């Protein structure tokens, strides 16, 4: 069966056996999105998200900046042109990564179930590298008086982390698991400061409260693994840092919350489908076409910003160039497309409900054109809103 004709996963995702800070935040934001994205859909082990080429280019640049930010942070944010900076570039595999990522993404886009010539990256590896360098230069502030010590990478043994930290002064990429709770994390950097221990995480993007919470969870991991509670956590951004003093009581509260929350999140993911949490994120949610709870938010945003996401009921069978349909609001809509697009449409007949992503509205929203990149999903009768 065509992927666009599937009305649900063919194999549902199980809750994770071990949680990361990111998976906790994702499931708390919307259990259904987490579940649908990780379930099997026909031949696809996970939901085959088709991101927009511009978004992929942004992601390639962001991921390279993320790696370079960590590598520089682990080397004490060295000055441009220094040997340490060159080493950080190499650690991050910075320049070679752009061409490789661009080529891998082109292949993935080409093998998407509804591949289209429109869905190709516009920028090549060199252009993406130039974009990343411009952004990095605009934001990076080499350390003047910050941590300057190179951290020991890839700690293998957890035998005596405290002793190793005392000896080295700083450690990086330390993977820790809570001794009792199913929770683990990889600490970007842990270092001795004047009055104790500090946990540092390197971030691109804007400061956010989820960064602080992640750092507190990491501080808890260090405390429970070594017995020594960190006194400070820091989110290190390209252009500055945000630090928070840590009290033991705060770590205890984080631990109690994790102990209560993790079983609840697992239970939520045991329900099929899991509960949906509609939010302003619905209009960009990759699985929105399969979520009737979030769909009203999608239609609302579509009305406001003119995007061509719409639920329609076919009021006539499809022809080579279009068919008549009715919208959620009961308006008549002429759906039109060029002949090659007709071949890409799923099998559908009069009375079928469809969710269209990425169509183009015309004629004051009385006509919706399906382009070669438009996605059209079948909706089961119980899921429709019209
Ligand atoms: S559309 Fe909204 S409510 Fe539905 S899965 Fe996506 S984020 Fe959750």
Top mutation candidate among 28, 272, 281 for ligand 1, by most atoms within 8 Å of CB: 281
Q: What is residue 231's predicted lDDT score, i.e. its pLDDT? A: 97
Q: What is residue 315's predicted lDDT score, i.e. its pLDDT? A: 95
Q: What is residue 386's predicted lDDT score, i.e. its pLDDT? A: 38
Q: Per-block average pLDDT, block size 10, for the chain (386 residues)?
A: 84 97 97 98 90 85 90 88 93 96 89 73 93 87 64 63 87 92 94 93 85 97 96 87 94 98 98 96 94 94 90 93 92 94 86 93 93 88 58
Nearest C-alpha neighbor of 24 from the set 261, 216, 281:
261
20 lines ligand 1 (CB under 6 A): no
Structure tokens at 378: 């079948």
| Phi, psi values for residue 116, rounded to 5° | -150, 150
Cis, bond preceding 273 (omega within 30 deg of 0) = yes
Q: What is residue 324's predicted lDDT score, i.e. its pLDDT? A: 96
How far is 208 from 230, CA to CA, in rounded Å?
A: 21
| Phi, psi values for residue 63, rounded to 5° | -65, -35
Distance (Å) from CA 16 to ligand 1 centroid:
19
Top mutation candidate among 286, 288, 296 for ligand 1, by most atoms within 8 Å of CB: 288
| 367-369 vs 332-336, strand pairing mode | parallel
Distance (Å) from CA 27 to ligand 1 centroid:
11
How far is 135 from 129, CA to CA, in rounded Å?
A: 10
How far is 241 from 146, CA to CA, in rounded Å?
A: 10
**What is the number of other CB atoms lying within 10 angstroms of the CB of residue 280?**
8
| Domain covering 285-383 in this structure, CATH number | 2.40.50.140
| Phi, psi values for residue 336, rounded to 5° | -125, 155
Distance (Å) from CA 18 to ligand 1 centroid:
23
Q: Count how many residues are written for the chain.
A: 386
Domain boundaries, the chain: 50-143, 161-246, 285-383
How far is 10 from 17, CA to CA, in rounded Å?
A: 21
Q: Which residues pair with 193 in a beta bridge?
A: 196
Q: Which 3-state string (H, E, C) describes the chain?
A: CCHHHCCCCCECCCCCCCECHHHHHHHHHCHHHHHHHHCEECCECCCCCCCCHHHHHHHHHHHHHHHHHHHHHHCCCCCCCCHHHHHHHHHCCHHHHHHHHHHHHHHHHHCCCCCCCCCCCCCCHHHHHHHHHHHHHHHCCCCCCCCCCCCECCCCCCCCHHHHHHHHCEEEEEEEECCCCCEEEEEEEEEEECCEEEEEEECCCCCCHHHHHHHHHHHHHHHHHHCCCCCEEEEEECCEEEEEECCHHHHHHHHHHHHHHHHHHHHHHHCCCCCCCCCCCHHHCCCHHHCCCCHHHHHHHHHHHCCEEEEEEECCCCCCCEEEEEECCCCEEEEECCHHHHCCCCCCCCCCEEEEEEEEEECCCCEEECCCCCEEEEECHHHCCC
* 161-246 matches 285-383 in fold: no
Q: What is residue 255's predicted lDDT score, i.e. its pLDDT? A: 98
How far is 295 from 377, CA to CA, in rounded Å?
A: 13
109 lines ligand 1 (CB under 6 A): no
| 240-245 vs 308-314, strand pairing mode | unpaired
Architecture in CATH of 161-246: Alpha-Beta Complex (3.90)
């Amino acid at each position: 069966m065509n992927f666009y004709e599937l009305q649900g996963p063919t194999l549902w995702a199980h809750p994770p056996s071990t949680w990361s800070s990111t998976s906790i935040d994702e499931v708390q934001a919307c259990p259904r999105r987490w579940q649908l994205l990780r379930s099997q859909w026909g031949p696809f082990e996970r939901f085959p998200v088709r991101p927009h080429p511009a978004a992929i280019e942004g992601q390639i640049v962001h991921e390279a900046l993320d790696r370079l930010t960590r590598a520089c942070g682990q080397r004490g944010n060295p000055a441009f042109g220094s040997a340490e900076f060159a080493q950080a570039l190499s650690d991050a595999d910075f320049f070679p990564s752009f061409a490789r990522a661009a080529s891998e993404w082109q292949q993935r886009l080409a093998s998407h179930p509804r591949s289209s010539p429109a869905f190709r990256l516009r920028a090549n590896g060199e252009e993406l590298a130039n974009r990343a360098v411009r952004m990095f230069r605009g934001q990076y502030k080499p350390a003047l008086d910050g941590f300057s010590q190179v951290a020991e990478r890839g700690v293998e043994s957890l035998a005596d982390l405290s002793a190793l930290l005392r000896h080295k002064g700083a450690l990086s990429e330390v993977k820790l698991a809570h001794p009792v709770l199913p929770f683990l994390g990889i600490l970007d950097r842990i270092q001795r400061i004047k009055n104790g221990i500090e946990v540092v995480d390197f971030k691109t993007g804007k400061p956010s409260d989820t960064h602080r919470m992640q750092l507190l969870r990491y501080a808890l991991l260090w405390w429970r693994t070594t017995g020594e509670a960190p006194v400070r956590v820091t989110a290190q951004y390209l252009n500055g840092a945000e630090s928070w003093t840590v009290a033991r009581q705060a770590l205890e509260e984080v631990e109690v919350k994790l102990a209560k929350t993790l079983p609840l999140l697992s239970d939520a993911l045991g329900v099929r489908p899991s509960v949906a949490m509609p939010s302003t994120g619905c209009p960009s949610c990759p699985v929105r076409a399969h979520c009737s709870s979030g769909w009203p938010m999608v239609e609302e945003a579509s009305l406001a910003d003119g995007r061509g996401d719409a639920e329609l009921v076919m009021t006539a069978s499809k022809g080579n160039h279009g068919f008549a349909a009715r919208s959620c609001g009961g308006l008549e809509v002429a759906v039109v497309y060029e002949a090659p697009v007709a071949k890409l449409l799923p099998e559908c007949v009069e009375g079928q409900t469809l969710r269209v992503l990425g169509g183009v509205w015309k004629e004051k929203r009385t006509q919706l054109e399906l382009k070669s990149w438009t996605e059209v999903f079948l909706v089961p009768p119980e899921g429709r809103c019209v």
